[in-house]
Each structure stands twice: as C-alpha cells, then as structure tokens.
Amino acid sequence: MTFLSNMEILAHKLSMLGYQPNTPVPEEENLDWDELPTAKAIALKKQFLSGYFETIRESDIVLIANFKKHGVDGYIGANTLMEAACGYALHKPVYLLFAPGSQNCRLEALAIASGVLEGDLAGLPPLDAIV
C-alpha cells in the first residue's frame, strides 16, 4: 500500500494499452494495523484479502507492482505474495514488474511468475493472447 500512487500511475498506463486494471482499495492505505484491536484487524484484513482474491479470480492476468522497499529491490511483502500465489493457483499468468531482490520469498515469487518485466509494461502479453 506504500506505493498506491505508483500503482494508480501503472493502472493509467495499462488503460492506455487497452487493459482494464484494478488497484488496491485506498481505504487500506491509511490504516495503522498495530493500533487496531486484534480481532478488528483480522476481520478487516480478511475483508480486504477476500476482495483482492475475488478481483484476481475475475481477472485474466496478475501484475505484481513490486517496487524497492525496506532497502530491497523488487520487494514482495506477505500480502503481495499471497495475491501472486492466488493468481498462480487460479491458473492466471502472474508477472512481476521487477525482479525480486534478496528476500525470503524470492525463490517462491520467481517460481510462480510467468515473467519479470524489469519495469517495462511492453513485456506483458498482448491482450488477444490472454483473453
């Protein structure tokens, strides 16, 4: 959620290429999960994840916008890895915007990726190839 504005820019670029992108809901961006009671945090997280998983189910392709974070190039957090795995399990092509850097889930992310774009959206398959 740190990169919601970057994701919105990507979504605009994808729209210009003919794709119909979805981005995370902005309501999650400003939540301070540590300040919420555990039960409420779990309920909210479950609600957000269920929404993301349903969006993935209805999508033709998954693009993981994995920017540099915490000093790690191509950072992939827990939620992002779950969303990528969901896409993979649903037999959706999963593309990483950048190669994952040195992190615990690097191998898993690469194993489920259909490709790594190195920041270039032109590396996505043509629309008629995925629809």
The β-bridge partners of 64 are: 96
The β-bridge partners of 46 are: none
CA separation for the pair 19, 34 (Å, rounded) = 36
Q: What is the pLDDT of residue 1?
A: 55
The β-bridge partners of 95 are: 63, 115
Mark out the alpha helices in 17-131 (DSSP H runs): 38-58, 78-89, 106-112, 127-130
Residue indicated by tokens 């043509």: 126
Model confidence pLDDT, tens digit, residues 51-91:
999 999 999 999 999 999 999 999 999 999 999 999 999 99
Residue in 57, 72, 61, 85 with CA at minimum distance from that of residue 2: 72
